[in-house]
C-alpha cells in the first residue's frame, strides 16, 4: 500500500480546514452533525461481530472498537473544554495522550455499548449547550498548551463536527472495503 492510499484511509474525508468565515449556517450545520453522530455511529456498528469490531480501519490504525471508545473519550474532553472556556477567561486546557488512552483495557477490550450510551447522553447535553450559545459565547477561547495557541469555540464546533464524520467514515469505509455491507 502506497503513502497516498494510507493517507486516504487515515483521512477519508480529508483533514479539517476551518472556513475563513464562520457564519450561522456553518455553526448550525456543525451542531446538526454533532447531534446526529451517536445515532449514525450506532447504526454503522450495530451489525458488526466481535471479530469485525477488532479489525483496524487501516494498517497500523485503531480497531473499530477503539474508534468508538476514542470518540466517547475525545468528546468528553471537548465538552469539558467548552465548559471551561465558557466559565473561565482563556483557560489552559489539559491535553491527553489519545494513543495511550486507546491502548487502555476499557478501549481495547470492553463492549462498545457503554461508549455508545455515553456518546448519546453526552451529545444530548453538549448539543443543548451549543444551541444556547450566542455570538459572544462562540468567540470565547481556550489555550492548548502544547500547541501554544488559542482555539475559538466556533472553530472547535466545526472541528468536532469533522471529528464525528471523520471517525464515522473510518468505520463505514472499512465495512465497504471488507464487503460487510
pLDDT of residue 54: 98
CATH class of 23-178: mainly alpha
Residue 139 φ then ψ, to 5°: -90, -5
Q: Region 107-127: what's the mean pLDDT? A: 98
CA 72 vs CA 8, 13, 47, 122, 174: distances in Å: 24, 20, 20, 8, 20
Give the Cα separation of 151 and 142 in Å (integer). 5
With contact defined as beta carbons under 8 Å apart, do 137 and 37 qualify?
A: no
pLDDT of residue 3: 87
User: How many other C-beta atoms can be found within 10 angstroms of the C-beta atom of residue 72?
Assistant: 23
Of 43, 2, 34, nearest in space to 171 by CA: 43
32 pLDDT tier (thresholds 50, 70, 90) = very high
Of 34, 2, 62, 55, nearest in space to 162 by CA: 34
pLDDT of residue 136: 97
75 pLDDT tier (thresholds 50, 70, 90) = very high
Q: Region 54-79: what's the mean pLDDT? A: 97
111 pLDDT tier (thresholds 50, 70, 90) = very high
Q: Region 146-152: what's the mean pLDDT? A: 94
Q: Where are the domains of the chain?
A: 23-178
Amino acid at each position: 500500500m502506497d503513502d497516498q492510499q494510507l493517507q486516504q484511509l487515515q483521512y477519508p474525508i480529508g483533514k479539517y480546514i476551518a472556513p475563513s468565515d464562520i457564519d450561522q449556517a456553518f455553526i448550525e450545520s456543525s451542531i446538526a452533525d454533532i447531534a446526529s453522530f451517536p445515532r449514525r455511529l450506532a447504526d454503522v456498528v450495530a451489525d458488526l461481530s466481535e471479530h469485525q469490531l477488532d479489525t483496524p480501519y487501516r494498517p497500523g490504525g485503531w480497531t473499530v472498537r477503539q474508534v468508538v471508545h476514542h470518540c466517547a473519550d475525545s468528546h468528553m474532553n471537548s465538552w469539558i473544554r467548552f465548559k471551561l472556556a465558557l466559565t473561565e477567561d482563556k483557560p489552559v486546557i489539559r491535553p491527553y495522550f489519545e494513543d495511550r488512552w486507546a491502548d487502555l483495557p476499557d478501549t481495547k477490550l470492553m463492549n462498545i455499548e457503554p461508549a455508545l450510551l455515553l456518546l448519546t447522553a453526552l451529545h444530548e447535553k453538549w448539543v443543548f449547550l451549543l444551541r444556547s450559545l450566542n455570538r459572544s459565547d462562540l468567540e470565547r477561547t481556550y489555550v492548548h498548551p502544547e500547541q501554544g495557541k488559542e482555539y475559538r469555540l466556533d472553530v472547535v464546533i466545526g472541528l468536532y463536527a469533522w471529528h464525528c464524520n471523520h471517525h464515522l467514515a473510518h468505520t463505514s469505509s472499512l465495512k465497504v472495503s471488507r464487503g460487510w455491507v
